[in-house]
Amino acid sequence: MTDLNIIALVSVGAHPTSGRARRAEQDARAVELGLRLAGDKLQVLHAGDPQEEALRAYLGMGLAQLSVLDQPKQADALPLLTSYLQDAGAQLVLTGSQAETGEGSGMLPFLLAERLGWPLVVGLAEVEKVENGVAQVLQALPRGQRRRLKVRLPFLASVDNAAPTARQSAFGPARRGQLQAHEVNIVEDSLLAEAQLQPARPRPKRLKVIKAKTGAERMKAATAKASGGGGQVLKDLSPQAGAEAIFKLLIEEGVLR
């Protein structure tokens, strides 16, 4: 555990099936990471309605309090968060990578980093160490890979599903925790004036288009078996020669490290 000043930004999520308000999956992972790094000193910040019951699920993870910038649902959270973070003196700000309700564009960490002038680490998986104001972190890549990065404090990090799973929320601490509302100036978001949210339509399934000019070709395409075609078959080789051919392909594809 380090004595960093860490702020985790949280939002209200939606259950994928029922749509009920809950703690957002990725934001809970951000809180978990923050708790592992800073323990009790972690500050958690939300911009929205302080009466929202779903926020208590974050308190149930072992937080004494949660700061809420009081604003209506459609307002723009970015200017408020920017000014709050400028004064808060945080060294590390953790966010999820995209909201579960509303636009969910995933732009917030990028815009915050741009406005604050801080570097941004995308897909933070683990903070290895912090020395002399420089943090060494692991970034999650697709296919379970990791990359080691060095970044100067203060910085912003977004967390995705590769971060440690969030701990369970307990009922007692969730009731006891304090939701502290802050009065702020409200900035309207212009997007929803011109765009509409509608229930998600199932995406059209891509059809296999057969561009055959004649009936014979169509018949051939319809009855064709999945055959490799270009596959190379090596027969009657010594095991060494066979292994060499496989080795060459693995090197070409860059999977051998």
Partner 1 sequence: MSDIIRRDPRAEWIARNRLHPLHAAMQKVESSWMGPNGLIRKNPHAVGFIGPNGIKRIDRSGAQQGGSQKRSAASEVVQLPLHVVEQPAFHIVVVPDMVGGRLGSHDKDLLGLARKLAGADGAVVAVVFGEHKENAFDSAGVDRLLQIEGEAFDGYAPEQRVLALGAVESQLAPRHWLLPDSRSGGGELGRRLAAKLGERPATRVWQVADGRCIGRAGAGQEDLVRAAPRLILAAAECAEPVSDTRHEARPLALQEKVARSLPRIEDLGAVAVDPALIPMAEAEFILSGGNGVKDWTLFHQAAEALGATEGASRVAVDDGFMPRNRQVGATGTWVTARVYMAVGISGAIQHLQGIGACDKVVAVNMDPGCDMIKRADLSVIGDSAAILAALIERVAAYRQAGERDAA
Site residues for partner 1, 85-144, by CB under 8 A, read 99-107, 110-111, 113-114, 119-123, 136, 138-139, 141-144
* Member of 40, 87, 168, 196 binding partner 1 (CB under 8 A): 196
Counting residues that bind partner 1 (by CB under 8 A) gives 83
DSSP state of 132: T
Could you say which residues in the range 43-72 bind partner 1, by CB under 8 A? Answer: none
Contact 83, 76 (CB under 8 A): no
Nearer to partner 1, 39 or 164 (CB): 164
Burial class of residue 26 (count of CB atoms within 10 Å of its CB; 0-12, 13-18, 19+): buried
Which one-letter DSSP state was computed for residue 214? S
Scan for tokens 């897909």, then name that residue. 123
Position 87: which residue type?
D
Cα separation of 188 and 74, whole Å? 7
Query: Which CB sits closer to partner 1, 19 or 39?
Result: 19
Cα-to-chain-centroid distance, residue 189:
23
Which CB atom, from 175 or from 218, has the smaller least distance to partner 1? 218
Taking the least distance from each CB to partner 1, the nearer of 146 and 167 is 146
Q: Should residue 19 be labelled a site residue for partner 1 when binding is judged by CB under 8 A?
A: yes
- Residues in contact with 80: Cβ distance below 8 Å, sequence separation at least 6, in sequence order: 47, 69, 71, 184, 185, 187
Write out the binding residues for partner 1, residues 133-192 only, by CB under 8 A.
136, 138-139, 141-152, 160, 191
* Cβ nearer to partner 1, comparing 72 with 215: 215
Structure tokens at 124: 């933070």
**Residue 6 CB, nearest distance to partner 1 (Å)?**
19
- The single residue among 87, 131, 183, 194 that binds partner 1, judged by CB under 8 A, is 194
For residue 73, state whether it binds partner 1 (rule: CB under 8 A): no
- Asked if 15 contacts 100 with a C-beta cutoff of 8 angstroms, the reply is no
Residues 99 and 11 sit within 8 Å (Cβ to Cβ): yes
Query: Of the two residues 40 and 238, which places its CB atom closer to partner 1 in the complex?
Result: 238
User: In 10 A of CB 2, how many CB atoms?
Assistant: 17
Asked if residue 35 binds partner 1 (CB under 8 A), the reply is: no
Collect all residues with Cβ–Cβ distance below 8 Å to 121 and sequence separation of at least 6: 137, 139, 149, 151, 155, 156, 157, 158
Instruction: State both tokens at 28.
Output: 């809970």
Q: Which is nearer to partner 1, 136 or 182 (CB)?
A: 136
Judged by CB under 8 A, the chain residues 228 through 247 that form the site for partner 1 are 228, 230-237, 239-240, 242-247
CB of 148 to partner 1, least distance (A): 4
- Whole-number minimum distance, CB 151 to partner 1, in Å? 5
